Structure 1
């Protein structure tokens, strides 16, 4: 019965497929789909996986609506709701391949976030005195971390749970703590 309801719901998602196909951000959405496909071990075409993710993941819907923003996305959100406690600032430049781990109460307000970004719940990426962070490629930010101000997080960095980052972090680092300290750089303990 549950499968029947899920398949029926997918029928109502057909306007999303049209929006996806016509989107100027289709290539970036494809990167998101491929990342979720790999991480969740999903099988099928981009369209079938998109339907599955839109059916089962409110946080993926939030990313999809961010990518396809406009009046049509707002209308579709009326019956296929996004995660209301996952906010992405409209001016944030967000690279492809975004993956979330239950981003409840997560706010992304950065100048730029690179490719293959992972974010968990209770994360704040935000401004201090109007200045916002820049985050590189292949960055993961874990539960409860705070990244604020006019700082740069390099490529291939992990921001540990509960960390408070207010200073630049170079490439290839793992940071933890409040205030955040580098504990690993280029694979070696510091």
Structure 2
């Protein structure tokens, strides 16, 4: 009886959230949305479920994913925008996660997107952003560029016309105001390098 109840509730939730799939069906951003779904599924260990099942699960359970989903829809075709504005009335996005970016590569994972502002020139593929992160301007025109496979941990701040190159990890609460080379881990205020190409170091950013 318990297994039946769990399965029934799960199916019911899928039905309730099914209207959000309308946006996916009419969108021109299907491939990038599916890449997001696969990345989230990998992180949550749900790789054995079909993409559409995982998509509904993330849309139901994670407002952060919903915000990213709506971002993808807005970057697609005009036809999808019309139903999106109606659907957003009933299926709210995260109230404290803001994505202001011209281009975000596929596979972005946002863990606990509470009080998180992402305002970058561009973000590469397969990046990871935690809660209370600020990526933003130092002036009206200067904001960061984020490369591929970049992880920005809780409370970190990346400010101004800087570049986080590929495979960079920014430690919790670090403040990055200078560009970071490839394959580095940075921590501190202001941030400095503690690992480069897999080797422990202590280097200032220049």
1:81 maps to what in 2? 92
Q: CA RMSD in A?
A: 1.4
Under a length normalisation based on structure 2, what TM-score does the superposition of the two structures give? 0.87
Q: Structure 1, residues 82-129: CA drift from partner, whole Å, max 9, x if none?
A: 11111101x431001011211100000000000001000000000111
Whole-angstrom CA distance in 2 between matches of 1:75 and 1:2: 30
Larger-Rg structure: 2
For the 8 Å contact 1:6–1:55, the answer to whether it is kept is no
SS in 2 for 1:68: helix
Correspondence for 1:54 among 42, 48, 59: 59
1:171 maps to what in 2? 182
TM-aligned CA deviation for residue 5 of structure 1: 4.3
1:28 maps to what in 2? 32
Under a length normalisation based on structure 1, what TM-score does the superposition of the two structures give? 0.94
Whole-angstrom CA distance in 2 between matches of 1:139 and 1:33: 18
2:187 paired with 1:182: no
Unmatched segments (≥5 aa) in structure 1: none
1:105 maps to what in 2? 115
Whole-angstrom CA distance in 2 between matches of 1:107 and 1:129: 16
SS in 1 for 2:148: coil
2:78 maps to what in 1? none
Task: State the number of aligned residues.
Answer: 189
Whole-angstrom CA distance in 1 between matches of 2:84 and 2:35: 19
TM-aligned CA deviation for residue 6 of structure 1: 4.3
Q: Structure 1, residues 48-71: CA drift from partner, whole Å, max 9, x if none?
A: 111111111111111001101223
Whole-angstrom CA distance in 2 between matches of 1:71 and 1:112: 26
Unmatched segments (≥5 aa) in structure 2: 75-80, 202-206
1:12 maps to what in 2? 16
For the 8 Å contact 1:86–1:105, the answer to whether it is kept is yes
1:119 maps to what in 2? 129
TM-aligned CA deviation for residue 77 of structure 1: 1.4
